[in-house]
Amino acid sequence: MAERKTERAPQNRAIQTKATILRAAAEVFDEFGFSGASISKIMKRADVTQGGMYFHFASKEELAYAVMVGQGEGLEFPAGEDGLQRLVDITLYLADQLRHNPVLRAGVRLAVEQGEFGLRDDVAYQAWVLEFRQQLRFARAKGELQPDVDDHELAWILVSSFTGAQLFSQMSTGRADLPQRIASLWRYLLPAVATEEARGALRLTLPEAAAKAEPEAKTEPKG
């Protein structure tokens, strides 16, 4: 038993060190972007040695990719019945998180800047398409969508529109108005995709508890 505990201790430390490095990298990428970030800045922020850094990540590019594809980690989506309302709540929650969550902010920024580290990879966007489509499937089963709505196509449009809205909001107000912009997006989109009954029941603001949810809690994307 003592031997097993001895074996687990280094593994747990390695896992914790890797998480610390990723968090520090996200903060640095969020502040400086890919070009302005450096391994030395990330090491200093994480308070790790060069050996500790390169044990987990071989390069800044590898770190950037890990942050980019892990942008949804540590989020706790609003609770509630799956379907159109929960999808609206998730998008509003993401808009709120983008104002102060460095892991999400960095992942989103790196997805835009990935050409600077030699990538053209849509994996991060596809993950959100999958997440949104899951809620649209529930909405379809509940009769909340118009008959001619394709859930995959709508999920793609939502991710594309959200991406554009957050970039515009970032340039205009530092994302201070992003929740309002996403609510406006839904107001114009819903008449084309949702039934009249579903639209009448929808709320385009986050419940107070969801807006204050801690970003450290973790959720796993649904497949």
With H, G, I as helix, E, B as strand and everything else as coil, classify residue 145: strand
Q: Which of 93, 72, 194 is nearest to 136 (CA)?
A: 194
Q: Assess whether pLDDT exceeds 60 at residue 209.
A: no
Average pLDDT over residues 87-115: 96
User: Are 3 and 12 contacting, i.e. CB atoms less than 8 angstroms apart?
Assistant: no
**Dihedral, 155, 158, 164, 170 alpha carbons, nearest 10:** -110
Which residue in the block uniquely carries the two structure tokens 């942008």? 71
pLDDT for 59 equals 94
For the stretch 163-206, pLDDT in tens is 999 999 999 999 999 999 999 999 999 999 999 999 999 999 98
pLDDT for 221 equals 38
Mean pLDDT rounded to a whole number for the chain: 90
| More confident position, 214 or 119 | 119
- pLDDT category at 220 given cuts 50, 70, 90 is very low
Q: Assess whether pLDDT exceeds 90 at residue 3.
A: no
